[in-house]
Amino acid sequence: MRIIEIYDTTLRDGSQAEEISFSVEDKLRITERLDEFGLHYIEGGWPGSNPKDAEYFKKVRSLPLSNATVVAFGSTHSPKHCIEDDNNIKSLIESKTRVVTIYGKTWDFHVREALQISLNANIELIYNSIAYLKRHIDKVFFDAEHFFDGYKDNPKFAIECLLSAEEVGADRIILCDTNGGTLPDEVRDIVKEVVKSIKTPIGIHVHNDSDCAVANSIIAVKEGVIQVQGTINGMGERCGNADLCSIIPNLQIKSGISCISDKQLEQTRDVSRFVNEIANIRHFKRQPFVGDSAFAHKGGIHVSAVRKRPETYEHIGPELVGNSQRVLVSDLAGRSTILRKAEEFNIHLKADSPEVQGILNTLKDLEYQGFQFEGAEASFEILLKKALGLHKRFFDLIGFRVIVGKGEKEESPYSEATIMVRVKEEIEHTAATGNGPVNALDNALRKALEKFYPELREVKLHDYKVRVLTAGRGTSAKVRVLVESGNERDKWGTVGVSENIIEASWQAIVDSIDYKLLKTRGGTQQRGRNEINK
């Protein structure tokens, strides 16, 4: 099996994305995780550009990496300085990595307009920089910046730059689509021509400005490149870089080209989420291979088919990349959806059970009213168990009141909620404040229940969304509230709908607490079994 080198640049190119900023400790943690993932090269940063990257290269030496080689990144030396005095070159050597990558101009437009030197002088920069670094460092990779644009404008000069790098002993020559504007057929044709002229192993580094980065990377591999550069989740400047979470499974599963072990491939989703968590950004639900929706099925016909044979609507087995199949509940659901979701809750229903049709009718009626269970599967599990007589009530509301007020002009508004509930034949009456009416109500309910159910202390409200459902009715419009709650291990979604936003929020909050208690206290009245009509 052909083997492709995977070169990750999340810590350098990925960190140039808007809203991304890694600390030194973040970068060290990601390095360890990418090494465990089995990647071959991890580009740690540009040691000559900032103190943080310089510190990273000092600290990373103590990490006991098993698979990856850490790479320092920089540029050819400045035309204004003698190479021995160039701080960028010095910092690359001082990073003490076994491999460095330097980029150089290969587009004549950039040479004339950005560097403002002659084309021959640019070729000398490439040659001299690589020659000097080769005397101090084991391996030197050359990133041919803007290569594809340069080749389209002046193929002779672009190739001459590569030949200069090859002549002086570059270990890899990387073709870069720096502006991300090249299309797959252009990449294919240009790579074909390059491999005719260059004997040094070739790599590919593309950006995603035309939404072709993954396709361009794969087609380059098919035409002979042996190294693919990219980032986890496609992080990067502007529209991002090529997404390794798509490239690796596409090559390994579909093309028979090895990148990492099959066991490591199963970590793809976990690695994707790990990097997003460290970067403090939300996971993209519809991200191919690793997103929550990548193997999610909503239409009744689809659900019926995948229950029989998953490959009817799934291009690979989700477990190959550490993902899993999901069935979404909506007004498009059929009996197969209800049966599949019941199985997930360890409830076994017969297809011809009258309860199935009853649940389906209830579901479609609620969706018509504005409820949405795709992002609120905890609410659907409660609905299902209530319909089957398998739900236990943990408390009853007697009443609540929410007050919102404001003092003087410079003072912030305040919110206070008072609540009365019945728990285990006891009446609990309490009050709490919050930074808004919903937060105050949530705090008051928890305060009333925590002495009976102390596990609720670990539940946090992670996200709260409101959507207006009936446009044109102003403040009397019906709203849907989606709440995401969770603890350190799990997250779950619940939903409420009403013309009163507090009432809709109450519905979602109660379902959230109910769901937690169902899980921790086995809160089902099982009528002696979890099998219905069997």
- DSSP letter string, 336-348: HHHHHHHHHTT-E
**What confidence tens digit (pLDDT) does each residue in 160-178 have?**
999 999 999 999 999 999 9
**What confidence tens digit (pLDDT) does each residue in 66-77 have?**
999 999 999 999
Any idea which residue has 């009258």 for tokens? 354
Any idea which residue has 């309860």 for tokens? 355
Provide the mean pLDDT of the chain: 90
Q: Is the pLDDT of residue 247 over 70?
A: yes
Question: With bands split at pLDDT 50, 70 and 90, how would you rate the model's confidence at 441?
Answer: very high
**Confidence (pLDDT) at 98:** 97
In the chain, % of residues over pLDDT 90: 67
Q: Is the pLDDT of residue 347 over 90?
A: no
Quick one: which of 297, 384, 374 has its CA closest to 349?
Answer: 384
Q: Is the pLDDT of residue 527 over 60?
A: no
Q: Which two tokens stand for residue 287?
A: 């991200």
Any idea which residue has 């290969």 for tokens? 106
Determine which of 20-24, 33-37, 228-232, 408-412 has the lowest per-residue pLDDT on average. 408-412
**Confidence (pLDDT) at 533:** 40
How many C-alpha atoms does 483 have within 13 Å on its Cβ side?
A: 27
**What confidence tens digit (pLDDT) does each residue in 382-416 have?**
988 888 888 888 999 999 999 999 877 778 888 99
Alpha carbon of 173 to those of 69, 143, 165, 237, 336: distances in Å?
17, 6, 7, 22, 53
In the chain, % of residues over pLDDT 70: 95
Count of beta carbons in the 10 Å neighbourhood of residue 517 = 21
Question: With bands split at pLDDT 50, 70 and 90, how would you rate the model's confidence at 464?
Answer: confident
Determine which of 246-250, 334-338, 526-530 has the lowest per-residue pLDDT on average. 526-530
What's the CA gap between 214 and 208, in Å, rounded? 8
Q: Which residues pair with 498 in a beta bridge?
A: 479
- Please check whether residue 514 is in contact with residue 455, taking contact to mean a CB–CB distance below 8 angstroms: no
Greatest CA separation for the chain: 89
For the chain, which residues make up each domain, given as ranges? 5-260
Count of beta carbons in the 10 Å neighbourhood of residue 27 = 25
Phi then psi dihedrals of residue 326, to 5 deg? -130, 145
Helix (H, G, I), strand (E, B) or coil at 24: helix
**What confidence tens digit (pLDDT) does each residue in 484-497 have?**
898 888 889 899 99
CATH of domain 5-260: 3.20.20.70
What's the CA gap between 327 and 337, in Å, rounded? 7
- Please check whether residue 430 is in contact with residue 441, taking contact to mean a CB–CB distance below 8 angstroms: no
Question: With bands split at pLDDT 50, 70 and 90, how would you rate the model's confidence at 474?
Answer: low
Question: With bands split at pLDDT 50, 70 and 90, how would you rate the model's confidence at 368?
Answer: confident
Mean pLDDT for the stretch of residues 189-213: 98
Record the pTM: 0.72
What's the CA gap between 492 and 369, in Å, rounded? 22
Helix (H, G, I), strand (E, B) or coil at 296: strand
